Amino acid sequence: MRISKSRYMAGLQCLKRLYLQVHEPGLAAQGDGADVAIIQQGHDVGLLARELFPGGIEVDSSGGLGQAIRATKELVANPEVPAIFEGAFESQGVIVKTDILQRRKESLWRLIEVKSSTDLKERHLEDVAIQSYALSRSGFNLASVWLAHVNRKYELTEATVDPRQFFLLRNLTRRVQNLQPALTFQLRSQFRVLAMPKAPDLPTGPHCTNPVTCEFFHHCNQPKPNDYIGYLPRLHASAAEQLEEMGVESIHDIPDDFELSEFQRRVCDTMQTGEPWFSADLKAEFEALNYPLCFMDFETVNPAIPRFRGMHPYDHLPFQWSVHVQAQPDVAPEHFEFLAMDNGDPRPAFISSLCEALGEHGSIVVYNEQFESQRLWELAGWLPEYTQRIRDIQRRLWDLLPVVRKHVYHPAFGGSFSLKAVLPALVPEMTYEGMEVPNGQAAGLAWQAMIGGDCSEGERQSKRQALLDYCGQDTLAMVRLLEALQSAAPPKP
């Protein structure tokens, strides 16, 4: 039985997870497009880090692990090789692959683990520690271990990214050394669990989603009914424990005198009566609206490696907007939209077309103002000639989310106020189900695939249509939601 670095990390999270990965991998949930995108992003960041070590050679692993280990040894023995990428090592059943090994003086080496995160996380130390363990026990002369992670403050000022500025390097040697005794102990436990005839009987808990959501989550955590007390928003662990001790598992059974926050009591009441709640002050909120109403929504991607000048790692790059303009109440809205269709900088066309569609008058209705407003500020920073127009747009923003949060609750919200939860409850004829692009993350993935150049023309057109449908649906949803709220609002007291 062998333990790779990723298995070791899985075992650190939960020994049962490790066991299932090895013995019952078929029970794991299938990864989605988002997983693939994260892996691809990590790969791109890894390739960029290699530019810090010119002359480095990648180990060919096409012939399997044994061949990769032999090839690594040959490169280590060759003093002309300044750095090795993807070096493979095995010692006492532990297999690791190293991102970068840099040759230092006197046959010593520096290990560099590359991460696409913007800071050092506790699990990175464990990740590097297991590599250090395997290398040291293979007789490899490791002088120091480092982490290269993304520098969030880096700004792209030239046509290409400067890896020396993009990465921050941290020396973890001492901290990793301190982990070695615990690591040896942990490895022993992992090998012992793997030799067991069946998976260890371990309880579920917060570790099932921390530091990552376990791929066996649905296997271990049986689905709960919709009225499960754990779905009561922001229910404190001690309150949940108290209810469980009282034998209460359903929201319907929570006693009237059990202490809950005002919001939790409201959720509880609507669940118990099955009736939605609309506050008496809801109608007054609409008095701040000025026609024409512009319902606006943006789609963005936030790549680790900035693509255009002025951008930092993980800045949002807006590529699509949708606006429905309603001139008067009860008049059919007019639809305007923008979608960047190539891999050029979308920002200038995005903002100029948006300004035109929004005109200069009327409220701009959004769902979660913070997101759109922040994107507008960033656009003003990149394209200062639009600053005044952007300020004018920001002054007109009217956020539907806090209005719903403060004045409405429906048992079908399930404790969530996201548009995807609120819409089907209040406007049941509108749904995102069955849409090719059903959410913002999928939109980002579809757009990147569309402009990436690997799509046939047919696929490109199909993705384009799916993106337009999705973003258009978001703004039409706000139109319908506002109408539903206006007609459901109780008359003013």
What SS3 string covers 216-283?
CHHHHCCCCCCCEHHHCCCCCHHHHHHHHHCCCCEHHHCCCCCCCCHHHHHHHHHHHHCCCEECCCHH
Tally of residues, the chain? 493
Query: Should residue 220 be labelled a site residue for ligand SF4 when binding is judged by CB under 6 A?
Result: yes
Vertex 286 angle, CA 282 and 292, to 5°: 155
Q: Which is nearer to ligand SF4, 14 or 450 (CB)?
A: 14
Q: Which is nearer to ligand SF4, 204 or 352 (CB)?
A: 204
Residues 371 to 400 in contact with ligand SF4, rule: CB under 6 A: none
From the list 51-59, 152-160, 216-224, 446-454, the region that binds ligand SF4 by CB under 6 A is 216-224
Size of the site for ligand SF4 (CB under 6 A): 13
Q: Which is nearer to ligand SF4, 207 or 396 (CB)?
A: 207
Please identify which residue in 214, 271, 376, 466 interacts with ligand SF4, judged by CB under 6 A. 214
Please identify which residue in 12, 20, 301, 304 interacts with ligand SF4, judged by CB under 6 A. 20
Q: Which is nearer to ligand SF4, 217 or 371 (CB)?
A: 217
The least CB distance from residue 213 to ligand SF4, in Å, is 9
Beta-bridge partner residues of 364: 294, 397
Cβ–Cβ < 8 Å for 379, 347 = yes
Please identify which residue in 28, 42, 217, 252 interacts with ligand SF4, judged by CB under 6 A. 217
Please identify which residue in 207, 252, 307, 420 interacts with ligand SF4, judged by CB under 6 A. 207
The least CB distance from residue 21 to ligand SF4, in Å, is 9
Angle between helices 122-137 and 5-13 (to 10 degrees): 140
Query: Should residue 202 be labelled a site residue for ligand SF4 when binding is judged by CB under 6 A?
Result: yes
The least CB distance from residue 18 to ligand SF4, in Å, is 8
The least CB distance from residue 2 to ligand SF4, in Å, is 20
Spatial neighbors of 56 by CB under 8 A, at least 6 apart, are: 50, 81, 82, 83, 84, 85, 100, 102
Query: Should residue 16 be labelled a site residue for ligand SF4 when binding is judged by CB under 6 A?
Result: yes
Query: Should residue 216 be labelled a site residue for ligand SF4 when binding is judged by CB under 6 A?
Result: yes
Please identify which residue in 3, 14, 96, 294 interacts with ligand SF4, judged by CB under 6 A. 14
Please identify which residue in 68, 96, 129, 208 interacts with ligand SF4, judged by CB under 6 A. 208
Q: Which is nearer to ligand SF4, 178 or 210 (CB)?
A: 210
Q: Which is nearer to ligand SF4, 191 or 277 (CB)?
A: 191
Query: Should residue 204 be labelled a site residue for ligand SF4 when binding is judged by CB under 6 A?
Result: yes
The least CB distance from residue 218 to ligand SF4, in Å, is 8
Around Cβ 412, how many Cβ atoms within 10 Å?
Answer: 17
Q: What is the rounded distance in angstroms from the CA atom of residue 379 to the CA atom of residue 317?
A: 9
Residues at the interface with ligand SF4 (CB under 6 A): 13-14, 16-17, 20, 202, 204, 207-208, 214, 216-217, 220
